[in-house]
Chain A
Amino acid sequence: MHDGVYPAVTAGAAPVVEAAEEPATAPEHKEGDAHATPHGRPQAPVAVAAPVAAAISADPATISTAAANLNKVKGGAFELVIYEKTGLGDGRLANNPWLQELPDPISRVTWDNYITMSIADMNSDDFKFNILNGQEQLSNVAEVVVNGVTLKLPVYASPGQAKGTIGIALGYGRTKAGKTANGIGANAFPAVTINKDNGFFEYSAVDVKVNKTSETYNLAGTQTFHTMMGRAIVKETTLDAYKKDAKAGNEPVLLSLSNGTKDTPNNVNLWEDHPRLNHKWGMSIDLNTCLGCGACVIGCHSENNVAVVGKDEVRRGRDMHWLRIDRYYTSDMTEKKAEEEGVGAIDKFLDMEVPSDSPRVVFQPVMCQHCNHAPCETVCPVLATTHSNEGLNQMTYNRCIGTKYCGNNCPYKVRRFNWFKYADNSAFDFHMNDTLGKMVLNPDVIVRGRGVMEKCSMCVQRIQEGKLNAKKEGRRPIDGEIKTACQQVCPTNAITFGDLNDDTHTVTKHSKEPRMYHLLEEVGIQPSVFYMTKVRNVSASEL
């Protein structure tokens, strides 16, 4: 249970997470020196957050050193922060295709490292880099000259990154790591120096030159659109508002009825309900505790034999992740602002597409929502996707003929199609084509063939196992006995799975909490997965 509110700054998380999170909670960075990095690594000479600066202000020598360091950063020069990615770490895990294809929590880019840069710098006259990196705009390639080393990498827009700083991830540019990792990205280790004073590695550098090149590069991102467009997708509230009213930020969705009254979409219904005689499986996802780390994505990969498709296919928008984490930035343009300033709809939406310079960031794991009135089920011509009487939306791969109608009609776009044969295919050399690699596959889950649709099954094999174990002992499955793979690996217990027909299950308690909401409830599809409002310890004006 995580009703408690986490502080918005999560110390110790990946540096990039901080970069995006921090401006919301530490606005002094915005007003402070442009070169003060939000990455907050203590070793970095100029990375002096305001309170620290106050603490050391008594020592004139330190001030002069800091000032000297600041002066070293000449006009047009950047400060570089070298960081480890959540998935690959320093690169020791780089040869694992799962981790290569795991989108970075912030950038949502897979299979590459890149130069992260603030949008303000990218827009500067020196560069004029493409901001909307993705399918439509290729990323510009730049050369970073640091400590005599030149790194050539694509530049990726990172809203919330302090102006004058750039970031490069470690773990890439491997030459002898193995077939997966070799030759991807550029190695940032040569840019790491050793601090003469304390002997520690210096993961940052000042006076870094960034030179634009004429080349472009197509970064493989799984999410190329970054804002919520004013939609109530991730619901948020402040701690103060939450204390006053636990339902704060979670105003119910109401539909106007023909008789003049209003009701929730779950009660407005043309369809007969499915019988729920025994179990009714459900899942809650607490947006308060989700860090966006992506462990659940990897857990799902390994449990369900989800295929890795490689950089080129991710570029084409064909990653196979059954579970994805959506990351949204806030935008400076909001519905409220548009109304106040009289901004027209066209301009409003165009502005909403652009993330704020110092955005708040939210994460939302999205998998099949196992709708009780699933739009995918009605459209399949051969009944390959059907509803179980335990509330699962189940996919019968053997029956699927691959019309992809279900995928089109899914409001969450969680269905994944096997565009190619991903197993036993030398074109997809990610261990599903060799005997050793196949030993990693889960024998309880079928490896899907070409031309069929697949999606989250709520780990139906685990449900089955749990039910059988309970049956052998003549009891019902107890709370927490059956865990989905994503739930099992979640470091913050953001995901809870259980039987909504059983009042002793935590998920049932969650479903009755005031923070509970269904994603896209207004479509009237009655999802079995529900989310819990994110409560932030900030003032109302910052939300």
Chain B
Amino acid sequence: MAHAPSNNLREPLILGEKSYHDITVDICRPIETRANKLWYVVFGLSFITMLWGIGLIAYTVGTGLGVWGLNKSVEWAWDITNFVWWIGIGHAGTLISAILLLFRQRWRMSINRAAEAMTIFAVICAAIYPVFHMGRVWVGYWVLPLPNQFGSLWANFNSPLLWDVFAISTYFSVSLVFWYIGLIPDFATVRDRAITPAAKKAYTLLSFGWTGNAKAWARFEEVSLVLAGLSTPLVLSVHTIVSMDFATSVIPGWHTTIFPPYFVAGAIFSGFAMVLTLMLIVRKVLGLEAYITVAHVEAMNKIIILTGSIVGVAYLTELFMSWYSGVEYEQYAFLNRATGPYWWAYWSMMTCNVVTPQLFWFPKIRKSLVATFIISIFVNIGMWFERFVIIVTSLHRDYLPSSWMMFHPSFVDIGIFVGSIGLFFVMFLLFARTFPVIALNELKTILKATGKYKRTSPQPEYKIEDLILESRKGKSGAAIHGEEHH
């Protein structure tokens, strides 16, 4: 990354007068040390929840979709709500890593790694729903335009669900490659510091033989830019296409041209909220307060105000357009959202998404980590309700009142959602202990430019040499590689 001149008007992005070596040590610490009890407790809980979710998915596939709460009028509910919610969450990672890279926002470097991990994990969680909401999941591969022996059967390119398949698989693969490319130099650092043969071997494989020479760095920078360029349209396209699942339909409350921009803003909004939720925990648990600072939180909070306001304007525009359209079905659909039997969902959405983020106009709240954490949870909840409101309240009362029904989730609906949260945290917790959670080599590029730093390294809390000796005692013939890579 380019070295921008130091700017004293801005708060430093790395606190605590770190040296290059400090950065390495701080960020490798979770990988090289043992997890504490809390980690095991949270991991255990997440793992059990995940298993419960897997069990319920197996139950669904084995018995039939009837174990969910769906009915003849509301044939999508929690499944697609959760899908859109998770996909939306993923968007912040892509925005941070791609768009902020192109805009040379240096503050992204402390959070992009974890945010991209969140993207990958969120897309995996999201994928559960379109897959298992299919009545015949075992023939789900028919959505892929594969050459086949069923005759001339081919996918329907008119169907937004098919666009989803392309949009999300592209999104997932590009995000994964982008994330992985960024990880290679950091894996190499971990490899160079690894003391056990297993870790050595694993990180050697993961780092693809990275040597850190100038040419490799030059190519790394180039490919990062190219991938950022490729990812940038994806930030806009994925949720645009997800929104078309609804926008291209004829259902009042779905059939709206405002959906693409509104969904993209909502996705970034919810994604940043989730990044904040996660990063506020991560910085505390992994002791990364010096790297993820109040300045970072504040920058993200500003994006939350922006996107939250866009979402708020979109909600009001929807209301206006439904009235202005003169279409009785549209008018009723929106009146029913706000005042019908699901009014509580609508007003939860309004409160969480429109009102609470506006508190960030106050610098005190914007800079308060506790307030930010609470508001980020509110936004996560509000964005879930947004999708619930769009999907369920539109379907439950559409054209013919004879078909109007309520939707009630079954324990399976709830269990699979909770299970996907468990899966997310299982992946994230494993990531936090095995991957460098901050792009440490990238971060080193801004150390000098963004604040006070140290030229000489103080003694680390633990000496790598001691660890080597320790491991030698334990396992004779263990390979010793103490050389550190900057």
Contacts and interface: CB of A to CB of B under 8 A. Distances in A.
Interface string A377-418: 011111100000000000000011111110111011101111
A418 B46 CA distance: 33
Interface string B150-187: 00011110111110010000000000000000000000
A313 B140 CA distance: 26
B331 interface: yes
Contacts of B161: 379-381, 403, 405
A225 B404 contact: yes
A231 B402 contact: no
A118 B158 CA distance: 51
Contacts of A449: 136
B405 A404 contact: no
A233 B395 CA distance: 18
Given A318-B72, A345-B331, A366-B400, A375 B250 contact: yes
B297 to A, nearest CB: 40
Contacts of B399: 231, 411-413, 520, 523
Nearest to A523: B250
Interface residues on A, range: 35 or more
Interface stretch (B63-71, B207-215, B458-466): B63-71
B251 interface: yes
B154 A229 contact: no
Nearest to B159: A381
B143 interface: yes
B5 interface: no
A354 interface: no
B331 A136 contact: no
A317 interface: yes
Interface residues of B, number: 58
A344 to B, nearest CB: 10
Interface in B281-299: none
B134 interface: yes
A382 B401 contact: no
Given A408-B76, A450-B64, A225 B401 contact: yes
A403 B134 contact: yes
B159 A413 contact: no
Contact of A317 (B73, B143, B154): B73
Given A375-B250, A378-B248, A419-B66, A400 B72 contact: no
Interface in B398-431: 398-406, 408
A313 B251 contact: no
Interface of B (DSSP majority class): loop
Contacts, number: 178
B139 interface: yes
Contact of B156 (A224, A382, A400, A402): A382
Contacts of B130: 403
B406 A408 contact: no
A349 to B, nearest CB: 6
A404 B135 contact: yes
A345 B328 CA distance: 11
B218 interface: no
A373 B70 CA distance: 27
A411 B153 contact: no
Contacts of A228: 401
B70 A411 contact: no
B349 to A, nearest CB: 19
B109 to A, nearest CB: 40
A409 B249 contact: yes
A379 B248 contact: yes
Contacts of A401: 134-137, 139-140, 142-143
Contacts of A400: 135-136
A383 B404 contact: no
B409 to A, nearest CB: 12
B70 A419 contact: yes
21 contacts: A229-B401, A233-B401, A313-B66, A318-B66, A318-B71, A366-B402, A375-B249, A380-B161, A381-B155, A381-B162, A382-B143, A402-B134, A403-B135, A405-B76, A408-B249, A412-B400, A413-B72, A420-B64, A420-B66, A450-B64, A451-B136
Given A136-B341, A327-B402, 6 more contacts: A231-B401, A317-B71, A346-B339, A349-B332, A453-B135, A522-B327
